[in-house]
Chains A and B, each alone.
Chain A
Amino acid sequence: MLIKDHERMIYKICRLYGNTDDDRKDLFQEIVIQLWNAYPKFRGESQFGTWLYRIGLNVAITQYRRDKKKIYTTDIGTLNIELAEHAYINLEEAKFQSMYAAIEQLNDIEKAVVMLYLEDKSYEEMEDILGISNGTLRVKMNRIKEKLRQLAKKK
């Protein structure tokens, strides 16, 4: 039941770390299995959401690693592009897409930082999930923002 309630959080991790639809499904399954196995040890010392992100990111980053050299083709249906009536993609949408593409190019830890930032997590919560100190996270965040600006410009 708890997993059902929080499945959207799991999808977000899969969205970021899975390269293909099949990858995302496999990763989703892997995270659910690990959550199920680890749940008896959940003592409620942190919020359930924090605990879930910790396990989900751990599975995605340290366990479920795919060959990065492999070239993936993306199913057009999974892209967050909605074509308007006259095949017109508005400028805003294109900017979002180039930003998502830039995030894709970040390393695994940077992706996790970005995801938690987009989820409006505080630096304290990020520290709890990632185990990286508050100060380092702030420095990292500034570097990531700059890196994303540069990457998005190239697009």
Chain B
Amino acid sequence: MELDDLKQDWTLSSQKYKAPVYKLNELLNNKGNGSLGKLKAKYKKQMILLPLVAAFLTVAMIVKPVLQQSAFIWFIIPVTLMLGLMYYRDYKLVEKMEDANTRSVKSSIQKNMHLLQQNARHHLIFAGIFLAAFIIILEATMYFQPDKDFAFWQTVALPLRLIIYGAAGFLQPFITRYFFDHHFGKYIKDLQALSEQTT
């Protein structure tokens, strides 16, 4: 049996193939079940939720001025906003990857690989900035509001704190890479394998 002999059967059997019963409008309202669709839904939820938390805390501080004394709130608001921004970036990345669909299969694979590699570098930079901002905010809130929420951390001697910050800075690229691989690693490997198949 040769592949050419299958042509007629392929056409005939495809005509016999049972069409799933669906309503186009309902189908379009359903969320995508593919790997990118799932990622997109997850990031969308986070990028909306986190700024909402920050907005809620800001309103709470205005309504109850006593909360303005809380170092924790001053700390958590910028952190949630920064995380929200990070999820927004990831959401846009997935959107760009979906957009690559209109290209040929090979260039879509290459485009997605390029986007992911570029995003991995951006994640590293962003996580570095995030960590630096985290340390500055933490130290600033302790300096301006001693004996408040971070009293325990303040009891740790400054040299030891600096060593811990240094260790966090050293570990940050590994941790960032771990989480990036956790989210996109399998997808990158798949794309690499596909890229090899096109040659």
Contact = CB atoms under 8 A, between A and B. Distances in A.
Interface of A: 3-4, 7-8, 11-12, 15, 24-30, 32-34, 36-38, 41-42, 51, 54-55, 57-59, 61-65, 78, 80, 95-96, 98-100, 107-110, 112, 114, 117-120, 127-132, 136, 144-145, 148-149, 152
B198 A131 contact: yes
A47 B30 CA distance: 28
A120 B7 contact: yes
Nearest to B36: A63
Interface of B: 1-3, 5-7, 9-11, 13-20, 22, 24, 27-28, 30, 32-37, 97-109, 112, 187, 190-191, 194, 197-199
Contacts of A145: 2-3
A96 B105 contact: no
Main secondary structure of the interface of A (DSSP, over half): helix
16 contacts: A8-B15, A27-B34, A28-B22, A29-B22, A33-B27, A54-B102, A62-B190, A78-B18, A96-B6, A99-B1, A107-B197, A108-B194, A109-B198, A118-B3, A130-B105, A131-B103
A62 B28 contact: no
A110 B32 CA distance: 26
